[in-house]
Structure formats: structure tokens, C-alpha cells
Amino acid sequence: MDRVQKLKDFLQKTPNDSFLRHALALEYIKAGDDKAAREEFEGLLTHDPGYVGSYYHLAKLLERTATTEEAIAAYEKGIEQAKKAGDMHALGELRGAYEELIF
């Protein structure tokens, strides 16, 4: 069984598991399915806006698919959430990627 299907099976048991949803989105990226990855990240962040690591990956996906304004918005929201969480590591990564994009 492939990883995407395994993660989907796990999510049937625990549909609101943010870690599993993040992992599924990353697997979609690996498989080249940016649309499904974006949907998964966006659904995850709607349900759990404090899952800071997903903002970086969503924004990178948006950059890669030439939706720059949406990528900027994802970085900004991630920066805000990282500050709230006191996650200085994530904050630094998000800021660095954000600044690289806008400057």
C-alpha cells in the first residue's frame, strides 16, 4: 500500500489529526499533486491555524505554482501564528522565506 493511502486510512480513524493531514499534504507534493496538497494544507490550517509548520510548506507550494500574492499571505499568517506560539525557529524560517520572496 502506498503512503498516501496509508495516511488516508489513518485519517479515517482520526480525521482531525493535524500531523497526519500535514504528512498527507507532503506526500501529495512528492507525488506531484499540488492541487491535493494545497487543499489538504488549507483544510488543515482552517481547522488548526496554530499548526505553524504547514504555513511554510503551503507558501512554498504557492510560490512554485506562481500564486505569489497568496504565498505572501500564507507567510504573513504563519509569521503571526509563530509569534503567538512563541516558536522562534519557525518564525525565523517563515520570515527568511517571506523576505526572500518580497525583496
Report the pLDDT value the prediction gives residue 33, as an integer from 0 to 100.
Answer: 97
Residue position matching grid coordinates 519557525: 90
pLDDT in tens, 36-69: 999 999 999 999 999 999 999 999 999 999 999 9
Is the model's pLDDT at 1 over the cut of 80? no
Residue 76: which residues within 8 A CB-CB, separation 6 or more?
Answer: 98
Query: What are the domain boundaries of the chain?
Result: 3-102
Q: What angle do CA 66, 68, 70 make, to 5 degrees?
A: 115
Report the pLDDT value the prediction gives residue 12, as an integer from 0 to 100.
Answer: 97
Report the pLDDT value the prediction gives residue 67, as an integer from 0 to 100.
Answer: 94
Superfamily of domain 3-102: Tetratricopeptide repeat domain (1.25.40.10)
